């Protein structure tokens, strides 16, 4: 089809209302296009005049498709099909047609290039750390819960199988935030089994038979499990809707993981127990070492609340002070720029690399240099020409870096070797990975991350307030989450440039904070669920006794869940490699802070909001009158 007389396209992309991958009546893949009324009129004329000829679909001077016009199309609704067109090709073409509506040419605003050397190292370290962590969890559950641990481990294995199967079917790319979602999923899967087993143990201690205790234990555990998982799922859904990029990846992994862990922890372990019961096999939920662990604890959590508030206050002051004085090390996700991970053939210092780059006159600001992993590897960050999207700018910057740093190599290093993975004596050298984020994307990431966190907190407050029928539960939960978040951000600021690994605030860090929010709220909800149960079971008891009883009765569950999750994180921290260490540090700090706030802040704070002291005093006065 010819272009118009002014050498422009005969029909512009702005007339396209919608384009999507579909199937025709014979089940073949096709792309359907819907135009507006103006486009439909022009399309009718153009197709009528060019039957049997080809029409080219062009974006940024590149021809993506050239279908043949079979008939005149009067309605503005067209379809493009071909016998060998795949679903992926149809989806890509539909996206191109929709992109044609944009009034500006496409520009690359974010780009990542990871060399196979660094990529393979990260894959190997990440895989081994995950395997080690998972095996440790299996061993721990088997040790602590004896034969019942076999059922829990089987459920965890099935959960991992289901989760990775669903992720693979969706074509999900596993990133650091995705790993965070898996870690939280593992924690919640373990938590569900721990809640069930502890409930069953309570029923057994009450004198019930094994079959009845298992049935009643599952029944009593459902409320806490569902509330905790639903709250976290709502958070993940909000993050998926309002987040961007890796944050959406985290949310996707978490939602899938919650669904699979709920199924496996509730149904798979129950099926195993039912099978054992039918064969009249005995099921032990503890051993000699764990049978009386934290049994009948009577710690006064409400009384300790004031001390806990002082401890929390001190850490919050330190965190806020560090943020005010030291600030945060913002990654390019939030400020825009280019990152280059460069490996030398000998150990170098940060000052050596920085001084070499300072001599480059073209750089208006001296690039930021940090040790990244071993002493011979650094990460270089620069904002030079960040808004320049010409094809040669990346090559120009790499050339400037090469000329500045080639003198730091003991061996001769050509530009080609420097910019591609080179192998000299089995040592991989030069630029191992590069990343670019435009300022526009950085602003969008910052805004969406902030909105995602705020909206998720609001949604959790509303859900908890409605589910527990008291706004005090929701408010105390949100205050605890704010404490956890501030503490993690403050520690990230305080230990930046002190600890021997990178602590950049990027999208992975945001995913870590969101993981902590999901983990902490789950802890708090389990405790509050037991408080709500105590109100029903013991209507004549005071609020202090209700809260203390709830915390003490769920203490073992809290320690087991926190312990297994921290074990997972420690394994990943030690064996996971440099690329993930700062990320896991944030998770470790958050897990400790979340456990502390759930145990020692949430209940005393809710007790104060309930005016529990006044209620307890009035209850005591009534009791005194009855005694007189």
pTM: 0.67
In angstroms, the CA 233 to CA 223 distance is 15
Lowest mean pLDDT among 439-448, 463-472, 516-525: 439-448
The mean pLDDT of 316-338, rounded to a whole number, is: 81
Q: Are 13 and 100 in contact (CB under 8 A)?
A: yes
Q: Are residues 422 and 450 in the same domain?
A: no
pLDDT at position 3 is 45
The candidate with the shortest Cα–Cα distance to 106, out of 13, 33, 240, 3, is 13
Of 437, 468, 485, the one marking the end of a domain is: 437
Going by their DSSP bridges, the two strands 16-23 and 29-35 should be labelled as antiparallel
pLDDT band at residue 613 under the 50/70/90 scheme = low
Q: Are residues 427 and 362 in the same domain?
A: yes
Q: Are residues 318 and 357 in the same domain?
A: no
The mean pLDDT of 88-92, rounded to a whole number, is: 77
Mark 216-233 as b/e (b = at least 16 C-beta within 10 Å): bbbebbebbbbbbbebbb
The candidate with the shortest Cα–Cα distance to 281, out of 144, 149, 147, 150, is 147
Mark 38-49 as b/e (b = at least 16 C-beta within 10 Å): ebbeebbebbee
389-411 pLDDT, tens per residue?
A: 666 777 888 888 888 888 888 87
206-243 pLDDT, tens per residue?
A: 889 989 999 999 998 888 888 878 877 887 787 777 76
151-170 pLDDT, tens per residue?
A: 988 988 898 888 888 877 76
pLDDT at position 320 is 92
- The parent domain of residue 432 ranges over 337-437
Share of the chain above pLDDT 90, in %: 8
Q: Are residues 120 and 250 in the same domain?
A: yes
| Residue 71 maps to a domain | yes
The mean pLDDT of 131-136, rounded to a whole number, is: 80
- How many degrees, rounded to 5, is the angle at CA 438 between CA 432 and CA 440? 155
Q: Is 352's pLDDT higher than 80?
A: yes
The mean pLDDT of 366-390, rounded to a whole number, is: 76
For residue 409, the SS3 value is coil
Q: Are residues 598 and 477 in the same domain?
A: yes
Q: Are 575 and 593 in contact (CB under 8 A)?
A: no
| Residue 580 maps to a domain | yes
Of 46, 69, 99, the one marking the end of a domain is: 99
Q: Are residues 456 and 587 in the same domain?
A: yes
Q: Are residues 123 and 227 in the same domain?
A: yes
Share of the chain above pLDDT 70, in %: 78
pLDDT band at residue 265 under the 50/70/90 scheme = confident
Q: Is 109's pLDDT higher than 50?
A: no
How many domains are there within the chain? 3
pLDDT band at residue 5 under the 50/70/90 scheme = very low
What integer best gives the mean pLDDT of the chain?
78
Q: Are 367 and 380 in contact (CB under 8 A)?
A: yes
* CATH number assigned to the domain comprising residue 587: 1.20.1640.10
The mean pLDDT of 550-571, rounded to a whole number, is: 83
* CATH number assigned to the domain comprising residue 409: 3.30.70
pLDDT band at residue 108 under the 50/70/90 scheme = very low
177-202 pLDDT, tens per residue?
A: 566 567 667 766 787 888 888 889 88
pLDDT band at residue 615 under the 50/70/90 scheme = low
Q: Are residues 433 and 492 in the same domain?
A: no
pLDDT at position 345 is 82
- φ, ψ of residue 301 in degrees (nearest 5): -70, -35
Q: Are residues 403 and 503 in the same domain?
A: no
Q: Considering only residues 34 and 110, tell me which one the structure prediction assigns the higher pLDDT.
A: 34
The candidate with the shortest Cα–Cα distance to 593, out of 318, 189, 228, is 318
CA-based R_g, the chain, Å? 30
pLDDT at position 618 is 63
Half-sphere exposure for 101 (CA within 13 Å, toward CB): 14
| Residue 176 maps to a domain | yes
Q: Considering only residues 450 and 5, tell me which one the structure prediction assigns the higher pLDDT.
A: 450
| Residue 628 maps to a domain | no
453-506 pLDDT, tens per residue?
A: 788 778 888 888 888 888 888 889 889 988 998 998 899 889 887 877 777 777
| Residue 4 maps to a domain | no
Q: Are residues 17 and 146 in the same domain?
A: no
pLDDT at position 315 is 93
How many residues would you count in the chain? 628
| Residue 143 maps to a domain | yes
| Residue 466 maps to a domain | yes
Q: What is the dihedral of CA 311, 581, 377, 334, to 10 degrees?
A: -80
The Cα-based distances of 38 to 20, 43, 101, 497 in angstroms read 20, 9, 14, 60
Q: Are residues 458 and 312 in the same domain?
A: yes
Q: Which of 35-49, 343-357, 539-553 has the highest mean pLDDT?
A: 539-553
The mean pLDDT of 369-380, rounded to a whole number, is: 77
Q: What DSSP letter does each residue of 560-605 carry, written as one string?
A: HHHHHHHHHHHHHHHHS-HHHHHHHHHHHHHHHHHHHHHHHTHHHH
The Cα-based distances of 211 to 56, 153, 203, 616 in angstroms read 71, 21, 10, 39
| Residue 331 maps to a domain | no
287-302 pLDDT, tens per residue?
A: 888 887 877 788 999 9
Of 392, 421, 437, the one marking the end of a domain is: 437
Q: Which of 62-76, 78-92, 95-109, 524-538 has the highest mean pLDDT?
A: 524-538
pLDDT band at residue 125 under the 50/70/90 scheme = low
pLDDT at position 430 is 80
pLDDT at position 4 is 45
431-440 pLDDT, tens per residue?
A: 777 777 655 5
The mean pLDDT of 606-625, rounded to a whole number, is: 70
Q: Are residues 181 and 239 in the same domain?
A: yes
The mean pLDDT of 509-513, rounded to a whole number, is: 76
pLDDT band at residue 601 under the 50/70/90 scheme = very high
Query: What residues contact residue 187 under an 8 Å CB cut-off, 6+ apart?
Result: 519, 561, 564, 565, 568
* CATH number assigned to the domain comprising residue 77: 3.30.1360.200
Q: What DSSP letter does each residue of 396-408 carry, written as one string?
A: HHHHHHHHHHGGG
């Amino acid at each position: 089809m010819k272009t118009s007389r002014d050498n422009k396209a005969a029909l512009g992309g702005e007339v396209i209302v919608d384009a999507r991958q579909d199937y025709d009546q014979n089940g073949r893949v096709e792309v359907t296009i819907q135009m507006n009324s103006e486009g439909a009129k022009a399309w009718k004329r153009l197709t009528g005049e060019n039957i049997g000829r080809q029409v080219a679909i062009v974006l940024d001077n590149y021809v993506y498709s050239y279908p043949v016009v079979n008939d005149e199309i009067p309605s503005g609704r067209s379809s493009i099909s071909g016998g060998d067109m795949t679903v992926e090709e149809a989806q890509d073409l539909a996206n191109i047609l929709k992109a044609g509506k944009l009034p500006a040419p496409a520009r690359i605003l974010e780009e990542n290039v990871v060399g196979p050397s660094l990529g393979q190292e990260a894959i190997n370290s990440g895989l081994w750390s995950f395997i080690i962590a998972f095996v440790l969890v299996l061993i721990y559950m088997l040790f602590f819960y004896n034969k019942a641990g076999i059922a829990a481990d089987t459920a965890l294995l099935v959960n991992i199988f289901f989760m990775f199967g669903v992720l693979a079917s969706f074509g999900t790319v596993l990133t650091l935030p995705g790993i965070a979602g898996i870690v939280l999923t593992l924690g919640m899967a373990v938590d569900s089994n721990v809640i069930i087993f502890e409930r069953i143990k309570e029923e057994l201690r009450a004198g019930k038979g094994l079959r009845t205790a298992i049935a009643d234990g599952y029944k009593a555990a459902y409320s806490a499990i569902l509330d905790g998982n639903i709250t976290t799922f709502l958070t993940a859904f909000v993050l998926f809707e309002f987040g961007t990029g890796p944050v959406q990846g985290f949310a996707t992994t978490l939602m899938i993981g919650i669904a699979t862990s709920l199924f496996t922890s509730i149904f798979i372990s129950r099926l195993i127990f039912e099978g054992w019961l039918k064969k009249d096999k005995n099921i032990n939920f503890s051993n000699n070492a764990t049978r009386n662990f934290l049994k009948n604890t009577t710690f006064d959590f409400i009384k300790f609340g004031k001390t806990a508030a002082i401890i929390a206050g001190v850490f919050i002051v330190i965190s806020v002070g560090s943020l005010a004085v030291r600030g945060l090390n913002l990654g390019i996700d939030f400020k825009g720029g280019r990152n280059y991970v460069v490996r030398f053939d000998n150990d170098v210092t940060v000052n050596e690399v920085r001084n070499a780059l300072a001599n480059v006159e073209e750089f208006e600001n001296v690039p930021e240099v940090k040790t990244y992993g071993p002493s011979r590897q650094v990460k270089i960050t620069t904002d030079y020409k960040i808004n320049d999207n010409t094809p040669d700018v990346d090559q120009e910057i790499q050339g400037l870096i090469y000329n500045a740093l080639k003198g730091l190599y003991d061996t001769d290093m050509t530009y080609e070797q420097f910019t591609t993975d080179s192998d000299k004596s089995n040592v991989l050298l030069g630029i191992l990975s590069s990343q670019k984020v435009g300022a526009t994307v950085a602003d969008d990431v910052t805004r969406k991350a902030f909105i995602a966190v705020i909206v998720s907190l609001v949604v959790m407050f509303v859900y908890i307030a409605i589910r527990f029928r008291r706004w005090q539960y929701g408010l105390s939960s949100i205050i605890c989450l704010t404490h956890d978040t501030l503490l993690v951000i403050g520690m990230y600021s305080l230990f930046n440039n002190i600890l021997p690994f990178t602590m950049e605030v990027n999208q992975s860090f945001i995913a870590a904070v969101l993981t902590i929010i999901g983990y902490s709220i789950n802890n708090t909800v389990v405790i509050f669920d037991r408080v709500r149960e105590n109100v029903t079971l013991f209507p004549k008891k005071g609020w202090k006794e209700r809260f203390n009883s709830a915390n003490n009765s769920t203490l073992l569950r809290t320690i087991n869940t926190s312990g297994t999750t921290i074990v997972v994180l420690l394994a990943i921290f030690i064996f996971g490699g440099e690329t993930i260490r700062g990320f896991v540090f944030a998770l470790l700090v958050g897990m400790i802070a979340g456990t502390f706030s759930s145990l020692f802040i949430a209940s005393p704070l809710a007790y104060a909001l309930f005016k529990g002291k006044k209620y307890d005093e009035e209850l005591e006065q009534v009791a005194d009158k009855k005694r007189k």
